[in-house]
Amino acid sequence: DAMTGGATALEAYFDARARDADMEANEAAAMMFPTSVAACVAAVLFAIVIAVLMWRAFYDPMRKLTTVARRIAEGDATARMPPLAARELATVGRSFNEMLDAVEGHRQRVATADRLAAIGQVTAGIAHEINNPIAIIRGYLKTMRKEAGSEQLRQELAIIDEEAAACQRISGDLLAYSRAPKLELERVDVGRLVRESGERPDAKAPAVRVDVEPATIRVDPLRMKQVLRNLIRNAEQASGSSEIDIEGRRTPGGYRLSVKDRGRGLPEGAGARVFEPFFSTRCDGSGLGLAVCYGLVSAHGGSISAEDRPGGGVEVRIELPEREALAP
């Protein structure tokens, strides 16, 4: 009886404990459900916020890229990508802008070449038609000077002949510009070529300082001397008594020659037009010297450009291609 009573009491005890544990579990479950729901809702909201931020991080740059591309297609060559916050996308934006700069530079070069080619065709016809009458005029002037009855008349006829000769030189420059020159290429020492081009018989002429990296280049020496002497003469007229620098350097793409002066520099907007015929920054210039230089350098397969120097003056660069340049 005692053992039965003890077992009954023990059963009742464990039943009470089980009921208490069950009640505590139910209460805990009732309390955890709202917390779980709140946590799920917070997780969903957090995921939505992250998705929106990521979408904006990619969508906004793509939208800007599309806008810039549309502006470029509509003819706005100045459209560029603004700086982007994301590092990876910022790299893409910079590369895109660099591509646009390269395309615009190529477009301008092509437009300039087309414009110069059209001008060359027109000037060739004009020069040919003008040259023949000038030659006849000079022939008659030569005869008239011999038959002139007074010294004053001979002097006046000589002045007319000089002006006709100037017109003939301009006509010759026009023909030289418009026709593809026939080059006689040979390998020459660039230092010797530059020094011979810089020799000035006039003692009052500005000094020419030569600093060229030794190399042998394959060019037409007479034509290249004509280019360098023309550039030196322009630099002398621009800088007065200031020293003129000629530099030569080997480059990854070939060889570069630079003629530098310390004159007034280029007028605003003139950098892209100085190699056009008839364009001159001097009131007494014909505007054909640099145009002829452009044609001769282009015939060598190179390029020529002009830009202002820091501190004043102009630097004219001649870039000869790799196939024309050799190591020392």
Residue 16 has pLDDT above 70, yes or no: yes
Q: Predicted confidence band at 256 (pLDDT cuts at 50, 70, 90)?
A: very high
Q: What's the whole-number mean pLDDT along residues 292-321?
A: 86
Q: What is the pLDDT of residue 258?
A: 92
- pLDDT over threshold 70, residue 283: no
The token pair at 43 is 């997780």
Q: Mind listing the pLDDT tens digit for each residue in 200-215?
A: 656 566 778 888 999 8
pLDDT tens digits, one per residue of 170-183: 777 666 666 666 78
Q: Is 85 a residue whose pLDDT tops 60?
A: yes
> CA neighbours within 13 Å on the CB side: how many for 38?
5
Least confident piece of the model among 73-77, 141-145, 237-241, 258-262: 237-241
Name which residue leads in pLDDT, 146 or 224.
224
Question: Which residues are registered as beta bridge partners of 245?
Answer: 209, 260
Query: What's the rounded Cα separation, in Å, for the pair 103 and 95?
Result: 12
- How high does pLDDT run on average in the chain? 79
Provide the angle, in degrees to the nearest 10, between the axes of the packed helices 151-178 and 87-147: 150
pLDDT at 282 over 60: yes
